Chain A
Amino acid sequence: DTEVTQTPKHLVMGMTNKKSLKCEQHMGHRAMYWYKQKAKKPPELMFVYSYEKLSINESVPSRFSPECPNSSLLNLHLHALQPEDSALYLCASSPYGGARTGELFFGEGSRLTVL
C-alpha cells in the first residue's frame, strides 16, 4: 500500500470547471512534487515544494495552481483546463527536502479527463 494518498482517483471536468486534486503524506517528508504523465510517456515534473515553499515551477500554465497548506498536504487547483491536459497526475514526496537521493514515494495518481 502506498503511503502517499491522492484523491480523487478519477476526475472528469469541463473546460469551464474549477476542481482540485489533493495529496497527503504522513511520513514526515519535507519535499512534495506534482508530475503529469501522459499515456505511454514518462512523468513530467510540474512543481516542487521544499519545506512548504515552491522551489520549482517547470513553466506550467497558470491554469494549474499548486498549494501546500502544510508539510503533509499538497493541492493542485485546476481551472479552465484544455482537453490536452487530460492525463494521470502523480503526487510524490521525498524525505530529504530535495530529490538528491532520488527516493521519491509516489501516490497512485489522479486520472483527469477534460471534456
Chain B
Amino acid sequence: GDSVTQMEGPVTLSEEACLTINCTYTATGYPSLFWYVQYPGEGLQLLLKATKADDKGSNKGFEATYRKETTSFHLEKGSVQVSDSAVYFCALSRDDKIIFGKGTRLHILP
C-alpha cells in the first residue's frame, strides 16, 4: 500500500543553520505530497504542498520539490530559527485519505 518514510529524529540544529528533512514515498499513480508542522500543544498545520512532478512548494522560507524519479519530497530551509522548533510530518493524499509519515522532531538552539 501507499506509505511515507521520513528521517528519524530528533534533529538538533543551531539557529541560522541549514535544514534538510528527508522524505520518500511509495504510491501507485501520482499522489499529492505535503509537509505538515505541529508546534507544541497544537494541532497540525499545512506548511506546503505539491500536486505534480517537479512542482515546488514553499512557505515561510521552507521549500520542497516533488521528485518523481526518486520518489522524494525533502523539506529544506536555508536558515532556521528557534521558532521553527516543532514536529514535521511528510504526507501524501490518496482518495479521501491523508497518509502521514512518522514525523521528525526538530530542535533549534539559540
Contact = CB atoms under 8 A, between A and B. Distances in A.
- Asked if A and B bind, the verdict is yes
A61 interface: no
A102 B43 contact: no
A106 interface: yes
A2 interface: yes
Given A31-B96, A100-B32, A102-B34, A42 B43 contact: no
A106 B43 contact: yes
Given A55-B96, A56-B96, A2 B89 contact: no
Interface string A1-22: 0101000000000000000000
A48 interface: yes
A109 interface: yes
A102 B98 contact: yes
B96 A102 contact: no
Interface residues of B, number: 26
Interface in B28-74: 32-34, 36, 41-46, 49, 51
B44 A102 contact: no
A56 B99 CA distance: 14
A106 to B, nearest CB: 3
Contacts of A109: 42-43
Given A99-B93, A100-B93, A101-B93, A45 B98 contact: yes
Contacts of B95: 98-100
Contacts of A83: none
Contacts of B44: 43, 90, 92, 104, 106
A99 B33 CA distance: 11
Contacts of A102: 32-34, 46, 49, 91-93, 98
A90 B89 CA distance: 15
Contacts of B43: 2, 4, 90, 92, 106-109
15 contacts: A40-B105, A41-B103, A43-B89, A45-B97, A48-B97, A90-B43, A100-B93, A101-B32, A102-B34, A104-B44, A104-B46, A106-B45, A108-B41, A108-B43, A109-B42
